[in-house]
Chain A
Amino acid sequence: MTYIAKPKLHHPSLVKNKAGYTRRDYEGAVSTLCAGCGHDSISAAIIQACYELDILPHQVAKLSGIGCSSKAPTYFVGASHGFNTVHGRMPSVMTGANLANKDLIYMGVSGDGDSASIGLGQFAHVMRRGVNMTYIVMNNGVYGLTKGQFSATADKGSISKKGVANSDESIDMVSLAILMGATFVGRSFSGDKHQLVPLIKAAMAHKGAAFLDVISPCVAFNNHAGSTKSYDYVREHNEALNRIDFIEGREEITASYEPGTVTTVQQHDGSLLRLRKLGEEYDPSDKIAAMQRVQEGLAAGEVVTGLLYLDAAPKDLHSNLNTVDVPLNRLKTADLCPGSATLDRINAGLR
């Protein structure tokens, strides 16, 4: 991070994307997180993804709960509306926002305290409702704002900065998301932008509940020997199942990978995911196999990363509710109010 305010003037030579924006246009305020915080790397990846996707910045709605991670939306896509809600309850606010206007791009940012402890219930339900969103948990296994308590994703046996061992089982957010019905589930590492950026892009193009668990070490309270969410630990134990390339549907497809190493998955909107297999043969469309692979990784002490599960043709909350194509917040009095003649008929039926 930097404490120096960013200049408002852009250099005229900055490259613009198809929407006419430079990468700088997707940035937000200067981060106030600790220098070296993984969350800032994730914010940078979101900025990169939005820029590469050519989205209109003001079409993003970014919502968060409470905690270090939930401060992050301030630091990306500054031209969009943001909503810091209350602890653990961002999912319901995002659900409501999505109901009101299906046309915006919803980015939910949360932390492991926010989503795995107080907000576990809302996390589960937002996934099972199929809210069209990208939900990112910036997962560091620790409470940063209150200075170093374990969160519910801290591994059993891991050691806190004060030297205390965690005696509780940890909650694996990707397993939970798959189980709850998320239709796009991935995990990545804040220090691996080559994997993270295409994952975020693919999640944003996904027309359903997309979840990304991003291990994001806390440099202040959880980046020491004994922590299983430190930079060193994650780098040593990261097993990437796949690296994905994301290609929007409108682009020409050019495959440049060696035969037999690439799988292409088309999402509902026509965008393509090319999965480059690094590990063993892995099919992300098989929900049961995905669960098994994630659990095997957990048992082996591996952080399995990549696109873990994908339903390429999901149904979202609006399609389940069969709502009109016009966003509900644009309906006018004439669309909504049945008028006095109808009311007279209703009155007549109540005598």
Chain B
Amino acid sequence: MPQAIAAVNDFVVKFANVNGSGSASANELFARSILRMGVPVSPRNIFPSNIQGLPTWYEVRVTEKGYLGRRGGVDMMVAMNPQTWGEDVREIEPGGYLFYDSTKPMPSSMFREDINVIGVPLTAVTNATYSDARQRQLFKNIIYVGALSVLLDIDPEEIKRLFGEQFKGKEKLLDSNVKALNLGRDWATQHLDVGAVKLKVRRADNVGKRIFVEGNNAAALGAVYGGATVCAWYPITPSSSLAEAFMAHCKRLRHDKATGKAKYAIVQAEDELASIGMVIGAAWNGARAFTSTSGPGISLMTEFIGLASFAEVPAVIVNVQRGGPSTGMPTRTQQSDLLSCAYASNGDTKHVLLFPEDPKECFDFTAEALDLADRLQTPVFVMTDLDIGMNHRLCHPFEWDDKRDLDRGKVMTAEELQAGKNFGRYLDVDGDGIPYRTYPGTHPTKGSYFTRGTTKDEYARYSEEGAVYVRNMERLQKKFMTAARIAPQPVRYSSPKATRHGVIYFGSTSPAMAEALDHLEEGGNHVNALRVRAFPFAQSVEDFIHEHDKVFIVEQNRDAQLRTMILSEFTLDARKLIPVLHYDGTPITARFIAADIAKKLAQLKVVPFEKAAS
């Protein structure tokens, strides 16, 4: 046997499966059972864009330290898909483990000499017990979880408890799953050298009160708590599960007890154009409304986003980003819609973007976006991505302050109009660029106006006069600056040692970045970090850049879109901002960030030739 990787509570297991084989729930069971032992895990679905029969992967990072980003590399590959055998075997770290179905013996040429091979005749074991084809397929997955639980020391009682929760009231299903689990456990105990596998799970206490949830589910719950009553959407990966989760939450939480009637309306629109149109119509009429979509949906919504911005109508759009451009990589992750969202539509338009780092912030920011959209009377984007949206992530529990009232912004009531308060739809009364609005139907004779995408004066009257137009555009810019003050502010992490180098990052890069900072620190590379949480950028973003000689900007796109936006919003020397870019569609890893920054820092430290000679 080659030298084996030995690690306790710190390794990566990757499952290679065939889409549609029912492996997803077994793999999640594996991850959850470790979590129940108090050891943080971070799983990721990696799947191509197809319906059935093609490859799919599930990567579980076991991480006692709580690093929730992707680490990079695989310590144990559970290779259940002959189609991807070659690439799966290649991916294993030297000294790592290959777990495979040995029902049909494989020639040694199919393995690598520097890895450890564990064969379990899964098909044979399964077929000996089950005759039904579907049962064979499903229970084979549970059997390998059983075998793995023996090899990795996962407490079978935790798995059984999970079965108990999953199949509550369905005793037959519970029993048959426990039976399959034990089949795998018994075979492994009897036939395998358990001690040869040196990846182990040990009970810990590092999970605490944290919850394990997908970002889309969290954002949907945020929309419920934020008071959204109208959701109009059109199915698109990876955002569909968000609207579906909103539907499920509303069914539980938003029905009038006496009448059974719904305190919400959800419409699956005919396309993205209609879904944003409905959101705008509902918000214009005083309801809180949102839609969820992904990049290509944003392309379609762009005309309407311009209207909402110029006519000053609130709208919340959750963009669960995927790989672009065009149809791009529908089931892969990126952060590549920043520019297309920030400046969506023709003319001089700028929009508010929020960048949540995890499901907790997906919840917070979606609720916050509904407040911000009402306060600013403008579209607000919540920029999540597939990595947060569709993967379970360990995060702090959701919190809500019961004293919090939904902030509807500047809405003039019938009483205020009656009292003679001056109403001009686009008058900047308070000097913050934000005017007052009225909801349709408010007052019999006062406060009505025409909403339009064409230019108008302070009293909403159509006007093409140059000075009037400029005044309006200046006010919109002032409103945008107000947004920079009231949107979530950046979060700063300071290096323990003084440094002239900084790093800026945002959104789903966060967990990998946290780990990368530790790695950099261990390697003697000190950097301060700033996590940007909103566009328009707070003044502290510019201040942070001025405080440092060089600032790395870490992004998951090719064109350094955040860097472009920073350069466009502030007056800066572009050479100070060094892009760190990862955009192959997989979530960025700590290894990548740390290595790239370390390499670039080393280049910066090279003494120029002339200087060295003198």
Q: Which residues of A contact B (CB under 8 A)?
A: 56-59, 61, 63, 73-74, 78-86, 89, 91-101, 103-104, 121-122, 124-125, 129, 318, 321-325, 328-329, 331-333, 335-340, 342-344, 346-347, 350-351
Contact = CB atoms under 8 A, between A and B. Distances in A.
B212 to A, nearest CB: 6
Contacts of A332: 406
Given A82-B450, A86-B303, A101-B285, A337 B406 contact: yes
B398 interface: yes
B212 A351 contact: yes
Given A58-B444, A333-B405, A338-B253, A100 B282 contact: yes
A35 to B, nearest CB: 20
Nearest to B260: A322
A101 B404 CA distance: 24
Interface in B191-245: 207, 209-213, 221, 224-225, 227, 229-230, 232
20 contacts: A58-B444, A58-B448, A81-B441, A81-B450, A83-B452, A84-B452, A85-B307, A86-B303, A93-B281, A93-B284, A94-B281, A95-B277, A96-B281, A101-B440, A122-B274, A322-B261, A329-B287, A338-B225, A346-B221, A347-B398
B265 interface: yes
A81 B265 contact: no
Q: Which of B260, B267, B440 has the most CB of A within 10 A?
A: B440
A323 B261 contact: yes
A343 B209 CA distance: 13
Interface residues of B, number: 72
From A82, A104, A337, name the one whose CB has the most chain B CB atoms within 10 angstroms.
A337
B30 interface: no
A103 B441 contact: yes
A67 to B, nearest CB: 13
A334 to B, nearest CB: 9
A324 B262 contact: yes
Contacts of B286: 100-101, 329
Contact of A99 (B230, B253, B401, B441): B230
Given A58-B445, A324-B256, A100 B451 contact: no
A129 B281 CA distance: 15
B304 interface: yes
Contacts of A91: 274, 277
Given A84-B451, A321-B262, A343-B225, A92 B285 contact: no
Contact of B398 (A59, A99, A343): A343
Given A83-B451, A336-B229, A101 B287 contact: yes
B225 to A, nearest CB: 5
Given A89-B277, A96-B283, A328-B263, A84 B441 contact: no
A79 B445 contact: yes
B281 A79 contact: no
A96 B261 contact: no
A336 B284 contact: no
Nearest to B214: A350
Interface string B249-282: 0000110100111111111011101111111111
B346 to A, nearest CB: 11
B406 A333 contact: yes
Given A96-B277, A97-B282, 19 more contacts: A56-B444, A58-B442, A58-B448, A80-B440, A83-B452, A84-B454, A86-B307, A86-B453, A89-B277, A94-B281, A96-B282, A100-B286, A104-B441, A122-B273, A321-B262, A328-B229, A328-B282, A329-B286, A350-B211
A325 B256 CA distance: 10
Interface string B121-139: 0000000000000000000
A335 to B, nearest CB: 6
B399 interface: yes
Contact of B213 (A59, A336, A350): A350
B453 A323 contact: no
| A74, A324, A333: residue with the most chain B Cβ atoms closer than 10 Å | A324
B440 A104 contact: yes
Contact of B230 (A58, A82, A100): A100
Q: Which of A74, A94, A99, A336 has the largest number of chain B CB atoms within 10 A?
A: A99
Contact of B211 (A122, A322, A347): A347
A57 B440 CA distance: 11
B111 interface: no
Contact of A92 (B274, B288, B444): B274
B439 interface: yes
A337 B224 CA distance: 7
Contacts of A328: 229-230, 263-265, 282, 287
Contact of B450 (A74, A324, A342): A74
Interface in B432-475: 438-445, 448-454
A250 B401 CA distance: 50
Contacts of B253: 338, 342
A99 B448 contact: no
Contacts of A59: 441
Given A83-B284, A122-B277, A61 B440 contact: yes
B266 to A, nearest CB: 8
Contact of B278 (A79, A92, A351): A92
A58 B441 contact: yes
B86 interface: no
A81 B211 contact: no
A181 to B, nearest CB: 13
Interface in B518-538: none
A339 B401 CA distance: 8
Nearest to A95: B278
Contacts of B404: 333, 337
Q: Which of B229, B260, B266 has the most CB of A within 10 A?
A: B229
A335 B453 CA distance: 33
Contacts of B609: none
B289 interface: yes
A85 B277 contact: yes
A329 B287 CA distance: 4
Contacts of A98: 281
B450 A84 contact: yes
Given A57-B444, A333-B405, A338-B224, A92 B450 contact: no
Contact of A81 (B213, B259, B304, B449): B449
